[in-house]
Amino acid sequence: MEWTDQAIVLGARRQGEGSLTLSVLSRLHGRHKGLVRGGARSRQRGLYEPGNVVTATWHARLAEHLGLFQLEPGINYASLVLEDPLRLACLEAATALTEAALPERSPYPALFDGLGDLLIQLGRDEGYAVAHLRWELSMLSELGYGLDLAACAVTGETADLAFVSPRTGRAVSRAAGGAYESRLLVLPRLLGGLGSGGGDMRDLLDGLTLTGAFLDRLTDHRVPQARTLYVDRVARLVAISGGNGEQD
Domain boundaries, the chain: 1-75, 79-248
User: From CA 213, how far away is CA 77, in angstroms rounded?
Assistant: 28
Q: Where residue 248 falls among pLDDT bands split at 50, 70, 90? A: very low
Asked whether the predicted pLDDT for residue 12 surpasses 90, the reply is yes
Asked whether the predicted pLDDT for residue 244 surpasses 70, the reply is no
Q: Where residue 15 falls among pLDDT bands split at 50, 70, 90? A: confident
List the single range of 17-31, 32-46, 91-105, 211-225 with lowest mean pLDDT: 32-46
Find, among 140, 141, 146, 139, the residue nearest to 168 by Cα: 146
Residues 42-97: tens digit of each pLDDT:
777 789 999 999 999 999 999 889 999 999 999 999 899 999 999 999 999 999 99
Q: Name residue 132's amino acid.
A: H
* Superfamily classification of domain 79-248: Recombination protein O, C-terminal domain (1.20.1440.120)
As a CATH number, domain 1-75 is 2.40.50.140
Q: What is residue 199's predicted lDDT score, i.e. its pLDDT?
A: 59
- In angstroms, what CA-CA distances link 203 with 40, 41, 104, 128? 41, 44, 33, 14
Top-confidence residue, 66 or 124: 66
Q: What is residue 17's predicted lDDT score, i.e. its pLDDT?
A: 82
User: From CA 169, how far away is CA 126, in angstroms rounded?
Assistant: 29
Asked whether the predicted pLDDT for residue 116 surpasses 50, the reply is yes
